[in-house]
Structure 1
Amino acid sequence: MRLDKFLAEAAVGSRKNVRIYIKEGMVKVNKELVTEPSMEIDENCDVIEYLNEIVSYAGKLYYMFNKPAGCITAKTDEIHKTVFDFLGEAGTKGIFHVGRLDKDTEGLLLFTNDGEFEHKVMYPEKHVEKTYFFWALGSLSEEDKNQLEQGTYIGQGKILTKPARIEVDKFGVYEDLKHEMATNNVNNINSNHHTQPVVSGYLTISEGRKHQVKRMLKSVGCYVIYLKRISIGGLALDKSLEKGQYRSLTELEIQKVLGNL
């Protein structure tokens, strides 16, 4: 393994920063000062020191997190609570979030220190599917569903969204379904709320454009009031994981994310 990769994965710093540390003489390998970031080392046998402290190697880490609404997907923030505030010691091990979820979106968020894993999950050409459950104000006709599945315009320019899958779960009026709705975010329900049409369902996409699910549904006249990501690839959110909790992924689950099973 390259020395700079080892130090980055051991949470000494970012790949860019550890290269600087190495070149400035802050790192030793087997008691010898080294200044070449690309030096190959044996992470299982060699003794690596940074500022005269032995660096332990945790290896590649993968976590599943059940994100609650109200926190942002970021390392730090001066105003809002972040997802890293829930991770405790795990958040100090050089991990980063794989993609992101909006502040008011709940559900499955992955963390890792494996850049190759992130690339395979997040890049559109890899076609890793993400499925979301939603409640929205509005209704979905067959024409609307066809438009979402075939591709729709969600902003300026002439780029269609990639083909998606939509499954309607429940539909009706707010007064009849309010006891089933997973949200108190009803600020946009009009004064005649008892007749306001509402719909819930599942939308599966293989891209990650900003606010994509909300914008796709808005393009067919639906205003999302609750959103939860329930799966990535073949990996479903663990139902026993409470909001704000996380756990390590098993090897089997890692392969499910990547579509290898």
Structure 2
Amino acid sequence: MKFPCRLDKFVSNIGELPRTKVKSLIKKGNVTVNGLVCKRNELQIAATDEIKINDKILKYLGKRYFMLHKPQGYVCANQDDLHPTVFDLLDEPNLKDFHIAGRLDIDTTGLVLITNDGDWSHQITSPKKQKFKTYLVETKEIITEEALQKLRDGVALHNEKQLTRPAQAEALDKYALRLSICEGKYHQVKRMLAAVDNHVVELHREKVGGIALDSDLSAGQYRPLTEHEISIINAM
């Protein structure tokens, strides 16, 4: 939420109420600003103003940042008519302004970062910032050194003219590798493996930039980021 903002928008967002109901409450004098009844929907308020609705304080919690261990079967979206979303796993107030800083496919597991800070998430998602995302990849075919080198050099994705940017690729086993990329093209890891005549069986993201998935988080669990983790993204 950006300030200054309209009173009715603030009350609707923080109070999680429909805008029509909020306007009715304001009209009836049930909303106060710094102790005074206010009946102006359009009043511009600051983050430091004290807003009450029926004597209950509505508090803006500021910028917030979470890491989530995404399980399979959840989509990275605020809402979805067919599948549960990662937001269904969060028990937090005022999630309307939150978004995902780097989505994962429904069948991909691992680290998802969720925030209401657009400038911070832009540092992650913008290709110009070159923040590497690291994945553990299990494959159908054996990983060859030739395939690894092609991934490091950049490969041609189907229906795209430019090669992918150079990746970091390390074999972990005959059928497993760690792959780090600094782009976010549609199904990119799966398409990169297809470009070297292989197929992704399982995909798990373990790191974004300098932020690693907390090993104490089981699938479906989340926690706030530490101040250090938040600062890592801005520092890189």
Bucket of the pairwise TM-score, normalised by the shorter protein: 0.7 to 0.9
Structure 2-normalised TM-score? 0.82
In structure 2, the partner of 1:245 is: 221
The whole-number CA distance in structure 1 between the counterparts of 2:64 and 2:184 is: 23
| 1:2-21 correspondence runs (5 A) | 2-4=3-5, 12=13
Per the TM alignment, residue 93 of structure 1 is displaced from its structure 2 partner at its CA by: 6.0
In structure 1, the partner of 2:71 is: 68
The whole-number CA distance in structure 2 between the counterparts of 1:105 and 1:203 is: 14
Residues 1:222 and 2:201 aligned together: no
Aligned pair in 2 of structure 1 residues 49, 68: CA closer, same or farther (>3 Å)?
Answer: same
In structure 2, the partner of 1:195 is: none
Q: Deviations over 1:213-244 (max 9, x none)?
A: 01001100110010000000111100010100
In structure 1, the partner of 2:129 is: 126
Q: Is the 8 A contact 2:5 2:45 kept in 1?
A: no
Q: Is the 8 A contact 1:214 1:223 kept in 2?
A: yes
Q: Deviations over 1:46-67 (max 9, x none)?
A: 2246799753110110000000
Aligned pair in 2 of structure 1 residues 159, 2: CA closer, same or farther (>3 Å)?
Answer: same
In structure 2, the partner of 1:205 is: 181
Q: Is the 8 A contact 1:72 1:103 kept in 2?
A: yes
Aligned pair in 2 of structure 1 residues 240, 9: CA closer, same or farther (>3 Å)?
Answer: farther
Aligned pair in 2 of structure 1 residues 131, 35: CA closer, same or farther (>3 Å)?
Answer: same
Aligned pair in 2 of structure 1 residues 75, 53: CA closer, same or farther (>3 Å)?
Answer: same
SS across alignment from 1:148 = helix
Amino acid at match of 1:260: A
Aligned pair in 2 of structure 1 residues 252, 9: CA closer, same or farther (>3 Å)?
Answer: farther
Percent identity over paired residues: 37
Aligned pair in 2 of structure 1 residues 84, 34: CA closer, same or farther (>3 Å)?
Answer: closer
Q: Is the 8 A contact 2:157 2:195 kept in 1?
A: yes
Root mean square deviation, CA, Å? 3.0
The whole-number CA distance in structure 1 between the counterparts of 2:77 and 2:186 is: 15
Task: List alignment gaps of at least 5 residues for structure 1.
Answer: 172-198
Q: Is the 8 A contact 1:10 1:57 kept in 2?
A: no
Per the TM alignment, residue 144 of structure 1 is displaced from its structure 2 partner at its CA by: 1.7
The whole-number CA distance in structure 2 between the counterparts of 1:7 and 1:164 is: 48
The whole-number CA distance in structure 2 between the counterparts of 1:216 and 1:10 is: 46
In structure 2, the partner of 1:193 is: none
| Among candidates 158, 163, 174, match of residue 155 of structure 1 | 158
Structure 1-normalised TM-score? 0.74
Aligned pair in 2 of structure 1 residues 35, 10: CA closer, same or farther (>3 Å)?
Answer: closer
